[in-house]
Amino acid sequence: MKWKHKDLLGINLLSKEEIEYLLERGKYFREFLDCSPKKMKYGEGYCLVNFFLEPSTRTRVSFETAGRLLGMEVVNFTSEASSFQKGESLEDTAKTLSRMKFDVLVVRHHQSGVAEYLAQLLPLHVINAGDGMREHPTQALLDLLTLQRKFGYFQGLKVAIVGDILHSRVARSLTLGLKKLGAEVFFSGPPTLLPLAMEHLGAKIIFPVEEAVKGVDVIYLLRIQKERQEAGYFPSIREYAHFFGLKEKWLDRENSRPLIMHPGPVNRGVEIGYSFTEEDFSLIEEQVTCGVAVRMATLETLLQGEEQ
């Protein structure tokens, strides 16, 4: 496939075929990850900077691993260590990084739209690792790869996403991806965190959660942030856990039990109670491994596009 994007900013900008291509390469890298020793020379000579202005060890380490496994040089630039806090503007900092001649910039920022802004400003490849409440495309790709490996198809697959949809870039990107691939998506959670306008993403809102998860193949639980309670969206963690945390009766069916996914890290006792075993949510571990694979696929694809 001839790749025509300089950057990976969001699932919204990708066609069905482009998503399928990235998943195919992701599948290749996922299999590669099961071999040892695993070092590729493909990315040698290329340099990646992780530009993380919002803390996230997991995603940053995943990108760092993907880059190194491809043979790239990786530099981390995180908010704690930066001069950024001393009043330097985003534009100045980004331009400085660009002048250091990095090839790929992976950016995470709390403002929606920052990845796009940097992509227009800078000549290098920009990968969005989460911008505000907008998109988190590599998370969606890793979730899609996990589902593809498990089910082998998307057409007609039923996925319920439960929790704080309003603030979730994970839910946005994943829903856009699932819809493009032909899956059905249902949203549920506290109504304060699930305004009706969320249906513009192509999902159907169903209350209560018990109804939304009826007959689905997958229940995707979103991580709930303590600060949403402080901001008044729901009254307490114990009430959230009681009504919106995973219930055995959501899984209890005659035929196949729905599979459980979560972007991690799981708040044990909140989204998933202590009564559930590792086996109940084994896909969550697979999601982590698929994360490295789809990030390798993304880096490879963007750099390859450059060669063409």
Shortest distance (Å) from residue 61 CB to other proteins: 36
Among 21, 28, 243, 276, binds other proteins (CB under 8 A): 243
Shortest distance (Å) from residue 222 CB to other proteins: 16
Angular region, 11: left φ>0, alpha ψ -120 to 50, beta rest: alpha
For 190, the token pair is 């506290």
- Report whether 246 contacts 224 (CB < 8 A): no
Scanning the structure block, which residue is given the tokens 């227009």? Answer: 120
How far from 141 is each of 23, 58, 138, 246, 297, CA to CA, in Å? 7, 16, 5, 24, 10
Shortest distance (Å) from residue 242 CB to other proteins: 7
Shortest distance (Å) from residue 190 CB to other proteins: 6
Q: In 3-state terms, what secondary structure has residue 272? A: strand
Nearer to other proteins, 85 or 192 (CB): 192
Stretch that binds other proteins, among 11-19, 45-53, 228-236, 253-261 (CB under 8 A): 228-236
How far from 200 is each of 72, 143, 175, 185, 284, CA to CA, in Å? 39, 21, 10, 12, 27
* Residue 250 interacts with other proteins (CB under 8 A): yes or no: no
Scanning the structure block, which residue is given the tokens 């000579």? Answer: 45
Sites for other proteins among residues 148-207 (CB under 8 A):
190-192, 195, 207
- The residues that bridge with 50 in the sheet, in sequence order, are 76, 106
Nearer to other proteins, 236 or 308 (CB): 236
230: exposed, middle or buried (Cβ count in 10 Å: 0-12, 13-18, 19+):
exposed
* Residue 242 interacts with other proteins (CB under 8 A): yes or no: yes
Stretch that binds other proteins, among 43-51, 127-135, 210-218, 239-247 (CB under 8 A): 239-247
Peptide bond into 258 cis (omega under 30): no
Q: How big is the site for other proteins, counted in residues (CB under 8 A)?
A: 15
* Residue 226 interacts with other proteins (CB under 8 A): yes or no: no
Least Cα distance to 107 among 223, 4, 222, 9 occurs for 9
- Give the CA angle between residues 12, 195, 52 to the nearest 5°: 50
Shortest distance (Å) from residue 191 CB to other proteins: 5
* Residue 208 interacts with other proteins (CB under 8 A): yes or no: yes
Q: In 3-state terms, what secondary structure has residue 96? A: helix
* Residue 58 interacts with other proteins (CB under 8 A): yes or no: no
* Residue 269 interacts with other proteins (CB under 8 A): yes or no: no
Stretch that binds other proteins, among 102-110, 179-187, 229-237, 245-253 (CB under 8 A): 229-237
Among 200, 232, 252, 278, binds other proteins (CB under 8 A): 232
**Count of C-beta atoms within a 10 Å radius of residue 84:** 18
Nearer to other proteins, 178 or 224 (CB): 224
Stretch that binds other proteins, among 3-11, 115-123, 237-245, 248-256 (CB under 8 A): 237-245
Among 110, 204, 226, 238, binds other proteins (CB under 8 A): 238
Per DSSP bridges, beta strands 104-109 and 73-78 are unpaired
In whole angstroms, give the CA distance from residue 276 to residue 258: 14
**Identity (one letter) of the amino acid at 41?**
K
Among 29, 233, 250, 281, binds other proteins (CB under 8 A): 233
* Residue 92 interacts with other proteins (CB under 8 A): yes or no: no
Binding residues for other proteins, per CB under 8 A?
A: 190-192, 195, 207-208, 232-236, 238-239, 242-243
